[in-house]
């Protein structure tokens, strides 16, 4: 999945519009216009599509954390990561949505996808830890899909 794909899926799952995406990004100090957001949300084959960098997607996720949980007590904004892994995306979404392990597993259950607690924890470990595991694209895709699916 490209960063543009991830943004499109998150926008749909969280039910937010282009203007709100721009507002969320601007909470991190990067001014983004509605037209820029529209270019990022276009499919790759569409004219006017622009690739979204890892740094901008990271700013969106950090802005989402600020939007949902509030700014840091000292008012600082984290520096965007130059390279964003699926693990980091999953971690930032979990923080923004204030989810515990059980909540994340429930999101996966909404789309009939099984992730064990041990497997989930391995995605949140620091890189280099002996139990760290790379988050596959399918896991991230199913998580975002589960976010968009309403609870029964």
pLDDT at 4 over 80: yes
Residue 129 has what DSSP assignment?
Answer: S
Residue 102, domain member (yes or no)? yes
Tell me what the mean pLDDT of segment 39-54 comes to. 91
Tell me what the mean pLDDT of segment 33-43 comes to. 92
Render pLDDT for 81-110 as a digit per residue (tens, 0 to 9).
999 999 999 999 999 999 999 999 999 999
Q: What percent of the chain has pLDDT over 70?
A: 99
Q: Which domain holds residue 59?
A: 3-69
- Choosing from 69, 101, 119, the residue where a domain stops is 69
pLDDT at 124 over 80: yes
Residue 81, domain member (yes or no)? no
- In this prediction, residue 76 carries a pLDDT of 87
Residue 16, domain member (yes or no)? yes
Residue 118, domain member (yes or no)? yes
Whole-structure pTM value: 0.91
Tell me how crowded residue 20 is: count the other CB atoms within 10 A of its CB.
15
Is residue 40 a contact partner of residue 50, using CB atoms and an 8 Å limit?
Answer: yes
Residue 79, domain member (yes or no)? no
Split at pLDDT 50, 70, 90, the class of 151 is low
């Amino acid at each position: 999945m490209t960063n543009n794909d991830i943004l499109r899926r998150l926008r749909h799952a969280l039910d937010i519009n282009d203007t709100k995406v721009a507002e969320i990004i601007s909470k991190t100090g990067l001014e983004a216009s509605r037209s820029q957001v529209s270019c990022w949300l276009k499919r790759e084959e569409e004219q006017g599509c622009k690739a979204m960098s890892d740094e901008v997607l990271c700013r969106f996720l950090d802005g989402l954390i600020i939007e949902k949980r509030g700014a840091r007590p000292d008012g600082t904004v984290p520096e965007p990561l130059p390279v964003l892994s699926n693990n980091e995306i999953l971690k930032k979404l979990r923080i923004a949505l204030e989810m515990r392990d059980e909540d994340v597993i429930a999101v996966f259950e909404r789309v009939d996808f099984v992730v064990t607690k041990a497997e989930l924890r391995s995605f949140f470990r620091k890189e280099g830890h002996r139990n760290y595991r790379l988050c596959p694209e399918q896991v991230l895709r199913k998580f975002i899909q589960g976010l968009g699916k309403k609870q029964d």
